[in-house]
Chain A
Amino acid sequence: MSLTTEFTTTDGYKLTLNTGLFINNEFIEGSSTIETVNPSTGQVITAVQAAGEKEVDLAVEAAHKAYYGGWKTSNPRERARLMNKLADLVDRDMDELAHIETLDNGKPLTDAKSFDVPGLAAQLRYFAGCTDKVHGKVIETQGKLSYTIHEPIGVCGGIIPWNFPLAMLSWKIAPALAMSNTVVIKTSELTPLSALRFASLVVEAGFPPGVINIITGYGHITGDLLARHNRVSKIAFTGSTAVGRLIMKAAAETNLKKVTLELGGKSPNIIFDDVENLDEAVFWSRLGIYMNAGQVCCAGSRIYVQEGIYDQFIEKFKALAASGTVGNPYDEKTIQGPQISERQFDRVMGYIETGKSEGATCLLGGNRVGDAGYFIEPTIFTDVTPKMKIMQEEIFGPVVAISKFKDVDDVIEMAHDTDYGLAAAVFTSSLKRAITVSNRLEAGTVWVNCYNQISENTPFGGYKQSGNGRENSVYALDNYTQIKAVKINIGL
């Protein structure tokens, strides 16, 4: 059976898509198939192979064999060479990968080309640079030579979401590989294609079979199997908080594998009246919520504007939000593509309905765009109260709630009225205010005078119920390391 398919995009780009499961450097059949849909049109692109218990076992066994068969003890220079080579191939095939990403996910092609695919390469290169800089400690102890070794863990499972398919893939595999772990990645069944195309590059780069395995499957089937697998020693999950709990429970009920979680958010974006440049604050705020059609875990979905500049801000923000082109993601002018699926579309529209029925004012948007695909207008709610659903629950769509605030104590209290703690932002020109407010905010990332600035070398992760552990930067290596203390008696 053929595990590739040809597809031509609406902008005339010819793609060859891999549709198999990528295990042991080969594409193989699965237990069933899953259709993946183009969210811009609602049409099926193709069907991909899906992994059941048998294939998950195959993938984990392949990873286990590769780990003990040489990857665990591989030379760090060699790991770095392979990761850098893979990054070079990603750069070479940037155009094709970006087209696949836009086809499967719906994000504007300009975003895929400027952020998603370059981010994948950057992540690989950053962690390639870490491979030979993993240092244990030598610790002074009586009568002994004591030292620590920072060892890999073994087979690491990664369960990634559909909002930034390639970027999320890189966030999981790069630190894992750098630390000599092998990986089994389960992509989202909504966006399997770009990772499968990337898998061809894994072979071309020369990675030994079994080091990187990429499988498609439903979360509640394939993901659950991976989270419960006895030979998987660590699982990293990015997705909803609800599913994060299931992963942690699955680990607790089986082999107590290490767990890191990157979950939801309801991040506050706070704009003080001494903001340096209101137009810039408006620019960043818009990026903060409407980027990726609002499908960003750290989206600034609650904006708090200080009383004095509230009206001005609303006027400018409304104008800027309304001016963006929502539509065909292949069009250069487009800044917002469709939501990922009909289900997510319905969910977001449901929240918009709820916002209205709970008494908030729908200042802008609130409607579907066009009648094909899952496009939603950039939407603004005002006259919101803290306990409204649209202020408490993560919508994951182009919907923002804007509130007024009096002073710093007032807004910090409101900002913290959430179980989440993924990110936050502060807009101010005052040095003292910038530092003290960012100190006080309970969030894993605090932006000052900007939003959604994410890079491979700064840590990212949640406070409170937004997650456990940090991704990116050297902090991420901790998630893929286990510490061994060796204590040699020389005088006792």
Chain B
Amino acid sequence: MTVNFATEFTTSKGDKLSFNTGLFINNEFVEGAGTIDVINPTNGEKICAVQAAEEAQVNAAVDAADKAYREVWSKTSARERARLMHKLADLIDANVDEIAKIETLDNGKGIAFSKGYDIPEVSKTLRYFAGFADKLHGKVIETEGKLSYTRHEPIGVCGAIIPWNFPLMMAGWKLGPALCTGNVVVLKTSELTPLSALKLAELVKEAGFPPGVVNIITGYGHIAGEKLARHPKVGKVAFTGSTAVGRLVMKAAAETNLKKVTLELGGKSPNIIFDDADIDQAVAWAHKGVFFNHGQCCCAGTRIFVQEGIYDKFLERFKEYTSKTKVGDPFEQETFQGPQISQVQFDRIMGYIQAGKDEGATCFMGGNRLGNSGYFIEPTVFTDVKGSMKIMQEEIFGPVVAVSKFKDEADVIEKAHDTTYGLAAAVFTQNITRAVTVANKLEAGTVWVNCYNELDYNTPFGGFKQSGIGRENGEYALDNYLQIKAVKINVEL
């Protein structure tokens, strides 16, 4: 008996959305071990239930992927891999409207962002990596009496565990490099935001990917995610999420088959504004830096350091700029900030706001819930903070920023580095020497100068210190999905 998991949903604006709620394994939508309710964060109501994967389904997905790799994908030409990836990108573009609405429905991000950024980024990422498929070069190395060369080979079955903050974009960041290098994928989405990837799954099949090459399953991290991280046939796992869970993934790999692990974890990124900065630019970028995506951004600029001389001016203009933030129904075009993803996250952030107050920081603006349905929080600014406070040390992952003063370069670099994270940082200055030397000194995987949150599919992204291992995007991402074989042929020895 084939059960049809196709479903429809009509949004508050009257848009009819269709998507499938099954597990996507071997190009089919199948039943899971149970179901998980998907909640609309805008109003706290249930959207639908999706099939959830437990051990048996993870095994089925991995087996399908393994078979597809051995029998089909490892024999598929680079040109064909690229063609399929381009086709998928084309289908995403053709359906951007519907997919964006699904993303906004499930995640709560403003429709302007889903349609103008998240979804287009997926097709851009796929096209970028498609272009690499036939450009994976080994080396020929001079050795005595031998012809020695290296092959850059795929690993095989790659597991990917992605978060809920940029659901489809994160899927693209994993699928792009994995597929172009000849690997097959089992992607586990977040149980909070499964829908857009399930829509993508329909397009994967329509594009003509052979069954088993791309498998997309919904499941809880501690169940399906754990099984994937421990599976003996999975040669590599890529995880994006919290540092705490990143540790569990790495341990799981260590305890089982020592699969390769890359991690994209948390951050507490410093945004440093020198007194020779263009203040209005700094204000606008600082706002985007922390309030973009409702603060649910691993590289958010959550600690702003402003040089003494312009501190008061910056704060005044930042308050004015922030007070104009449009928080509301994400299906409205002008909405900048939608709800936080869930009740759990909402409570967590409100808890941090309380901790900020309890520890003696000044709640300069915001700090309250907005409305009484859904999980909306006012853009919140703390001042009079100390480096050791929770709100300065721990990742809040919400629309909450801490603003501090600094004296000079040496002072602020020390403060900026007072963290176990190292994902990103920013410097605002108009002086070239300062821009380059401060960027050199900052211990972060990405340093922005006079901007923030400028992510591109072709520049590497990843953490120093406990913010992660490995780089995503750009040519550097390919390394995560390749293993090097040296072939050494004796011709004279």
Contact = CB atoms under 8 A, between A and B. Distances in A.
Interface of A: 137, 139-142, 144, 146, 148-149, 233, 241, 244-249, 251-253, 255-256, 258, 261, 263, 419, 434, 438-439, 443-450, 453, 455, 457-461, 463-465, 467-468, 470, 473, 475, 478, 482-489, 492
B446 A487 contact: yes
B144 to A, nearest CB: 8
Contact of B448 (A137, A258, A444, A489): A489
Nearest to B74: A440
B488 A450 contact: yes
B445 A482 contact: yes
Contacts of B325: none
Contacts of A478: 479
Given A446-B486, A478-B479, A488-B449, 5 more contacts: A252-B247, A453-B146, A453-B488, A484-B447, A485-B447
A487 B489 contact: no
Given A146-B459, A453-B143, A475-B484, A487 B448 contact: yes
A249 B458 CA distance: 32
A487 B486 contact: no
Given A443-B485, A450-B490, A453-B143, A487 B447 contact: yes
Given A449-B489, A457-B142, A475-B484, A253 B247 contact: yes
Interface stretch (B23-31, B168-176, B254-262, B313-321): B254-262
A444 B152 CA distance: 10
A437 B490 CA distance: 15
A256 B451 contact: no
Contact of A252 (B251, B257, B444, B459): B251
Contact of B493 (A146, A453, A473): A453
A318 B350 CA distance: 76
A141 B456 contact: yes
Contacts of A137: 474-475
B263 interface: yes
Contact of A484 (B445, B465, B486): B445
Contacts of A252: 247-248, 250-251, 254
A455 to B, nearest CB: 5
A144 to B, nearest CB: 6
B157 to A, nearest CB: 12
14 contacts: A141-B454, A248-B254, A252-B254, A256-B265, A434-B489, A438-B485, A444-B483, A447-B488, A455-B144, A458-B150, A459-B150, A467-B258, A468-B260, A478-B479
A444 B484 contact: yes
Given A252-B254, A488-B435, A149 B451 contact: no
A445 B459 contact: no
A461 B484 contact: yes
Contact of A256 (B247, B448, B490): B247
B188 interface: no
A265 to B, nearest CB: 13
- Pick the 5 closest A-B CB pairs, nearest first: A248-B254, A252-B250, A489-B451, A450-B490, A449-B490
Contact of B258 (A253, A458, A465, A470): A465
Interface string B141-172: 11110101011000000000000000000000
A141 B473 CA distance: 13
A444 B490 contact: no
A256 B447 contact: no
A139 B474 contact: yes
A448 B445 CA distance: 41
Nearest to B479: A478
A149 B440 contact: yes
Nearest to A456: B143
A148 B253 contact: no
A450 B147 CA distance: 12
A60 to B, nearest CB: 16
A233 B465 contact: yes
Given A149-B440, A458-B141, A448 B490 contact: yes
B464 interface: yes
A100 to B, nearest CB: 27
Contacts of A256: 243, 246-247, 250, 263, 265, 465-466, 468-469
Interface in B257-279: 257-258, 260, 263, 265
